[in-house]
Structure formats: C-alpha cells, structure tokens
Structure 1
Amino acid sequence: MKPFNVYTLYPTEPVRGRGNFVYDAAGTEYLDLYGGHAVISLGHADETYVDRIAKQVARLGFYSNSVENSLQCELAERLGRASGYDDYALFLCNSGAEANENAMKLASFHTGRSHILAFTGAFHGRTSGAVAATDNVALRAPFNATDHVEFAPLGDLQRVEELLATGRFAAVIIEGIQGVAGIRVPSDDFLRGLREATRRHGVQLILDEIQSGYGRTGQFFAHQKAGIRPDLITVAKGMGNGFPIGGVLIAPHFEARPGMLGTTFGGNHLACAAALAVLEVMERDRLMENAAATGSYLLDRLSRIEGVHDVRGRGLMLGFDVEGSGADFRRRLLFEKHIFTGGAGKSTVRLLPALTLTRELADRFLTSLGELLRA
C-alpha cells in the first residue's frame, strides 16, 4: 500500500523543529514562515506545550464525551477570558471544516431555515457542507452539489441585502481575513454593515476565524477590529499548535439540546491539554502583541522592496505578489534561501509564521527576499 497522492509535495522532509525553525534529516535549517498553514502558533517544540501534553497522556489520553471532562470546562473558561467572549458557550470538535459544519447546522436549527450565504473567494473546508460554502468548484464533487448555498461578491453589501431580504437564509459565513484567496481583508465598514443586515433579517452571522484567529492578526479575532460580535465563531489551526482541535464559540441565544451535535474525538483530553498550553503561552509571552508589532514591521518593510507588489494583511497573516509565478518564487525561497512560505493563486506569497517571530528573523527573511528579487 502507498499514500493516496493528492498533494503536490516539495522534495524535502522536516524531521524536527524548534521555535521558528524546522530541520531535515541532514540537519539543514529552514526558517518556517508558513507554520504548517497557520497551525504552529507557539513555534515548534515549545517546552510548556510539550510538557503539558506529555503529562496528560501519562494520566489519561482519551475517554469519550459520555462522561464529564473538566479540561473542557477549563478550556472554555480560559478561552472566553482570552477572547472577550466569556458569555458564549464552546463546542469542541477536531478541525476547522468540522467547526464550520457545526456552526452552519446550529444556525439552521436555530432559524428553521435551510440556506447559507458565503462570499467569492471563500474557503471554509473540504467536508460536504463546508466545501459547498467554498468558492472553488474544483473541490466540489457531484455528491457535494447543493442549492442551499449562494455566493455574494465580497464587499457588496447591496447584494447581501437583496439576498437576505428573501427570508430563506439561516446564516452568512465569512472569514475574518480570506486566507486561501490570497489574504483578502474585508473592510471594517463591510463587516459592520453585514452585522447590522443579518441582525435585521434574523440571520445568524458566522465568523470563520480558523486561519485569522487566535492572535494571528494582533487581536484575538480579526473581526474584533471592526467592533462587531458575531453569533457563531469557528476556530481551529493555531488553537492546538499542531494537535488537531477545532471549536465553535456560540452566542447565549442558542439553546443546547441533547443529541443536536456530537463528536467522538472532539474535546478529548490530549486536545484540551494542547489548547490550554497554547492559551497559557500566548498570555505569558504576550504573543498577540508580538504578532501586531512584528507584523506591522514586516508590512512596512515589504512595501519598500522593489519587485514586491500589493502588500496586504494584518499582524502575522500577510500576503504580497511577485512578478511571474509565485510557486516558482516560493520554491526558490525554499531551496536557495531555506525559507518556507505559502502561496495562493498565480503570484502570491503568504506569510503565516508562528506568533513568536522576532524582528531579527523578519530581517533575515527581508534580506533573503531582496537578494532573490535582485538576482
């Protein structure tokens, strides 16, 4: 048997990591500015994180959700305090796609309606409901086809109003910042208008903060810059620093009923231990503040480099375009400069490093970037 090869793979294999670096079997050091797709929030092999998981697995690695789990309560309380949503409830699952599926399901239960409104460029996951709300037909098998999801242009509030006025929508789902689309930031005014329109039409607003949340933009959630409070917030990726975990933050007006949602592995003891370690280190080391400061520094310096175009994003969720193929340029960064980055579209480079990135390491990247662009 062999792997079902659905990925385009770089011919390199990280076998260990430390902080903002990963290393291959030959000991080659790579600066990691991709974070495994915005997953590594604390850096690799953080001591507090490793210690907490090791101690938990030595006590109890898993039991089902048929019994009490005080770690879930501790995580909900701590996440509520850290995010400013202490009056919300938390449902734990295993991934971002699963979080979005459950959020849309909750909205449909609550409103009795069947339709979801998403936006051009959206990416919400690869499971059936999540991929239906993703603006990429190449990811959607015939089995996933549905008339229950419609798309509006990102930023077009008038079109949103027209669609919501039909009365058939249970929810609007939007990313705090679109990641897969190439770091596309909805304006604060658009988010405020969206919040007002959904409230007026009795539609639930879902903020997908799976990539843009957990301190990455310098605030706990990207949407908080606009001063709005959604009805449902989905999280994953940086929540576990590599351990699979996801969740839905649920506003107080939702009523929980036994059996309406469920999961075998969601909120298991190891996942909760990992997520608690993430929150502890984020608070102790002021990682949100670091993401804001280092991200602002990168944003400013990138905009001054000849050959770098359309610099955008916030905090440590940044994108920019280069001339020609972005994939070829990212490959050169990896194999000539030993720097991992991400991509989106034909010419975009995405930066999604751990929130521990320092100005010194940012300068190392900027120097390498300038050298490649001048070569």
Structure 2
Amino acid sequence: MPMFDVYPLYDVTPVSGKGIHVYDDKGMEYLDLYGGHAVISIGHAHPNYVEAVTKQVSELGFYSNAIQNPLQQQLANKIEALSGCKDYQLFLCNSGAEANENALKLASFKTGKKRVVAFTNGFHGRTSAAVAATDNKNIIAPINAQQAVTILPLNDIQGVKTELEKGDVCALIVEFIQGVGGLDQGSKDFFEQVFALCKLNNTMFIADEVQSGYGRSGKFFAFQHYNVTPDIVSIAKGMGNGFPIGGVLIHPDIEAKYGMLGTTFGGNHLACAAGLAVLNTIEEENLMDNVNAMSDYFISKANTISEIKNIKGRGLMLGLEFDFEVGDLRKDLIYNHHIFTGGAANKKLLRILPPLNIEKQHINQFFEALETAIKKVEQTAN
C-alpha cells in the first residue's frame, strides 16, 4: 500500500539521534537546526528523557482518562512552577492542532459566541476551526470554510477594535511569534491594546504558544515578553521532545463541566512521563538562559553576513531573510553540508529552530557552511 503522497521529502533517512545531531541509514551525521518543526527541545535521545520514557513504558504506558493519573497533576504543577502561570487549569491532549481546537471550543462555550478573529500569515493547525483560523486557503476544505473567521493584518488595531465591537467574536487567537508564516511579530503596543480590547468586548484572548512556548523565545512563553494575561494558552511541540503531547492552559474564570472536553490518548502515562522529563531538563540545565545566550551569539554572527537582509524572531525561534528564495540554499545545506534548516510561507526566509541546548560550536559550524552555500547559490544564479 503506498503512502498518501502529501509531503515533499528530502532524500535523507534518519535512523538515530543524539543531542543536536541525527544520523542517517548510511551513518552520515547531520546538524539538526530545525528540530522537526521545533519539536526537539532538549536534544535527541537525552538521557533524562530516555530513562523516564523507558521506565514508564515498562510499568504502564496507557490508560484512559476514566481513572486517576497522578502524573497529570505532577505535570500541571511543574508547568505552573516553571512558567509562572499561576492558578491556570490544564487540559491535556495530543497535538497543537488539537490544543487550538479545544481552546477555540472553550472560548465559544464561555462567551456563547462563535466568530473568531485571527491574523495574516497565522498558522494554528489543520483541523476544523483551527485550520479555518489559519491564513492559508490551500489547506482549508469547504467543510472548514463554514467556520466564522475574520483574518486581519498584524498591528491593525483599528481593525481589531471594529471587529470586536460587533459583539459576536468569541475568541481572538494569535501567535506572538509567527512560525510557519515567517517569524513576524506584532508590536508591543498592538498586543497590549488587543488584550485590553478583548477584555472590554467579552472576547477570549488565546495565545498560541504551540511553537513559541517552552522556553524557545527566551521566556517560558512568548506572550510573557508583553504585559498581557491570556485567557487560554495552547501548547504542544517542544512539550514532549518528540512524544505526541499537547495541552491548553485555561484561566480560572473559565469553569469546567463534565464532558465539555475529552480525549482518548491525551494526558496518558507515557506522554506525561515524557513531558515531565522535558521540564526537569529545562530546569536542571538552565536551558532558558542558554536560549538567550545562544540567541545573542547567533544574531551577532548573522549580522556579519551582508546577504542576510533581515533577522526575524527572538530566542531560538529565528529567521534569516534573503533577497532570493532559499529552496536551493536549504538543499545545499542538507546535501552538501549535512545541516537541517526550515522554510516558511515566506520563500525568502530560512527558519532556525534548534534544540535549546545548542552550543556556540554548532552555530559556528552553521555559519561557515552558510557562507559557502550562499556563494554557490549566487554563482549558480549568475
């Protein structure tokens, strides 16, 4: 049976990984500066992670949410302690799309309204309401398009005010650093004014931290760079270091009722063990401090390369923008220099999302390769 052909694939077959490297079926080592879409937060096969997952799967890998699972409460407590998000409630699920789907559903339950406001170049997932709130018509099927969603440009505070004052918006959802869209950010004034408008208009303010959370921005959540308090926070990618896990942080003003949300696999024992291993490692290895130090170093190196026209993002969620499309550059990096990088909706942007324990030597290796690859691409173009 053939696979359903929806992914354009590089001709590389990773079979193992350690730290910031992966190894293919021919034994070739690759520097992983993409982490499988920012999923690998503490490095491949981290000993803490391997030990925790191995121990848990040998005891109890899964049971449904019909029983007590103390690991869920341990995970919730650890998220609260490291994030500083006091008194929120946690609902566990399996992915970022599912987290955003439940976030939007909660907002509609809470407000009794159904329209959503989202933003240009935003990406929130590929399911139902989450994909309807995503600014990509190519992945929105007719069944998704029946959702009531208004998409506005970032920093259009008047547009937000106009839409929210119509009184039918249940939720405004925003990435504080856009991922797939190309690392764009709203201004500080914009985010803080949006938060105030949501409060005035009985609209739930949803922070999509699926990619930007878990220390990637240099703070635990990217929204913490601003003076805002989201009603709902969605989390996923770096949460499990590769194990499928997602979640929703829910403000205490939103009351839980039996049956309003549910999931078969969400918050299972193995997922919680993986999630706890990630948080323990972030704490023990001071990885958020490392994010800030390595981000400064990376940006200082990027500023020495004239072909880089713009540096976007923050922390270790960065984009290098050129005045040419980077498809060939990415191919050269992976095939000739054995370095994984990412692309974005902005075809001129190279996306960098390494594990949070990256070191200067890895950054140096990348920039040496990048300068060589840029020259090759320019020579080919000429």
Q: Which TM-score bucket, shorter chain as reference? A: over 0.9
Q: Counterpart in 2 of 1:281?
A: 281
Q: Counterpart in 2 of 1:364?
A: 365
Contact 2:129–2:147 (8 Å) recurs in 1: no
Does 2:122 align with 1:122? yes
Unaligned runs of 5+ in 2: 377-382
- Counterparts in 2 of 1:281 and 1:294: CA distance versus 1, 3 Å: same
| Residue 374 of structure 1, CA deviation | 2.8
Contact 1:79–1:86 (8 Å) recurs in 2: no
Q: Counterpart in 2 of 1:189?
A: 189
Q: Counterpart in 2 of 1:326?
A: 326
Post-superposition Cα deviations, 1:2-37, rounded to whole Å, max 9, x if no partner, equal 211100000111110000000111111100000000
Amino acid at match of 2:16: R
Does 2:236 align with 1:204? no
Residues 23-34 of structure 1 aligned to structure 2 (within 5 Å):
23-34=23-34
Structure-1 separation of matches of 2:80 and 2:211: 18
Q: Counterpart in 1 of 2:222?
A: 222
Counting aligned pairs with the same residue, the percent is 52
Contact 1:303–1:309 (8 Å) recurs in 2: no
Q: Counterpart in 2 of 1:58?
A: 58
Aligned residues: 375
Structure-2 separation of matches of 1:74 and 1:176: 27
Post-superposition Cα deviations, 1:117-161, rounded to whole Å, max 9, x if no partner, equal 000111000011110000000001111112511111111111000
Deviates more, 1:3-12 or 1:363-372: 363-372
Structure-2 separation of matches of 1:164 and 1:9: 42
Structure-1 separation of matches of 2:120 and 2:325: 23
- Runs of 4+ in structure 1 off by over 6 angstroms are none
Q: Counterpart in 1 of 2:167?
A: 167
Structure-2 separation of matches of 1:46 and 1:147: 41
Secondary structure (helix, strand or coil) at the match of 2:354 reads coil
Contact 1:317–1:352 (8 Å) recurs in 2: yes
Amino acid at match of 1:64: S
Structure-2 separation of matches of 1:23 and 1:93: 30
Contact 1:235–1:246 (8 Å) recurs in 2: yes
Q: Counterpart in 1 of 2:350?
A: 349
For the aligned residue pairs, the C-alpha RMSD in angstroms reads 0.9
Secondary structure (helix, strand or coil) at the match of 2:56 reads helix
| Residue 336 of structure 1, CA deviation | 1.1
Q: Counterpart in 1 of 2:269?
A: 269
| Residue 183 of structure 1, CA deviation | 0.7
Residues 14-163 of structure 1 aligned to structure 2 (within 5 Å):
14-163=14-163
Structure-1 separation of matches of 2:7 and 2:194: 36
Secondary structure (helix, strand or coil) at the match of 1:343 reads coil
Deviates more, 1:322-331 or 1:354-363: 322-331
Unaligned runs of 5+ in 1: none
**Normalising by structure 2, what TM-score?**
0.97
Secondary structure (helix, strand or coil) at the match of 1:31 reads strand
Secondary structure (helix, strand or coil) at the match of 2:343 reads strand
**Normalising by structure 1, what TM-score?**
0.99
